Amino acid sequence: MSINEFMKQVQGLPADPQLHFYLIVDAAQDPRLLAQLKQAIPGTRSQCLLTHVQGPDLDAAAPHLLTFPQFGADTQSWQWLADYGPALPAAVSIIATSLSFDALYAHLHSLIEVVLPDGDEMILAFWDPAILAMLVGQQDDTTLHVPGPALTIRQCEQLLAGVMAWWYWDRTGKLHQIRSNTNRDAAQKVMPPLRLTQTQVDMLVEASVPDHILGYILTNKPELLANIPKQERYPRVEKHLLEARKLHLLGMRDILDYVCAALIYGEKMHESSVIEVLLEKVRSRQISLTEALEQFP
């Protein structure tokens, strides 16, 4: 994405003399990013969103809210961001708002813990673009494993209260803009935590499955992805995950084994009549996936 492309989207926002830009940076994705931004942009203010998480080790792997220069005031920083975002799309997103740093921080921090159907609480990782986009149902994002929206209209309004625009890069490096019409006063009201239904919880869990599989393979079997460009890895894994679901594979071990086999065999997975027969037996539960894999040619 070029600065000019971003400029067009910024200029499309309603005029607001108090417009500010902020970044949400997930240090777990790139531990160096926070220090790089603070060094490159003097006066950058940041604060960890997980304030209940104590200790430098955990803080270094948590999401942070950062101030960012006004658009046009620091072209070099914006160009750097435009180049960095697609390369590591899960690490950073951009918020445009008239809220002050403290007000936006308080609002985002209030969203972190959601209430489950049984009354327990869970962290809502809205700083992950794949989760954020699924929550609001970003229609132009075709990479989403779970399209969404997971939240109701009222819950989306609560999530985006005070936010004029929220930009993120999807897992393939394409930029998306989430627009909101909620006013700044809504973000400054004390609201109860979001309360999720079981269906919403299930959608959140499923939305993160491709990343869990991809992370496992990168850690334990990186050779399977060595010849696949980085921006193609997520959609490739997600594609094979959907194939595994069609075979009625539910256990994570079976799903992992299927995805790994699909990466190894490539197109042969669908061209071999022997494999086709074996997978049909798996789908109809005549044999297990383990038994099928043992008979793969």
Residue 165's H or E segment, with its range, is: strand 163-169
Supply the mean pLDDT for the chain: 90
Q: What is the pTM of this model?
A: 0.88
Ramachandran sector of residue 120 (left: φ over 0; alpha: ψ -120 to 50; beta: rest): beta
Mean pLDDT of 122-131: 94
Q: Is the per-residue pLDDT at 53 higher than 60?
A: no
Give the three-state DSSP class for 63: strand
Q: Is the per-residue pLDDT at 55 higher than 60?
A: no
Instruction: Output the pLDDT for position 236.
Output: 95
Tell me the residue length of the chain.
297
* β-sheet bridge partners, residue 63: 26
* β-sheet bridge partners, residue 46: 66
What are the domain boundaries of the chain? Answer: 3-196, 210-294
Mean pLDDT of 212-238: 94
Mean pLDDT of 9-21: 78
Task: State the Cα–Cα distance between residues 131 and 192, nearest whole angstrom.
Answer: 21
Mean pLDDT of 248-274: 94
Instruction: Output the pLDDT for position 20.
Output: 92
Q: Is the per-residue pLDDT at 189 higher than 80?
A: no
Q: Is the per-residue pLDDT at 93 higher than 90?
A: yes
Instruction: Output the pLDDT for position 185.
Output: 63
Cis peptide bond N-terminal to 210, omega within 30: no
Mean pLDDT of 83-102: 92
Instruction: Output the pLDDT for position 56.
Output: 57
What is the sign of the dihedral through the CA atoms of 260, 261, 264 and 266? Answer: negative
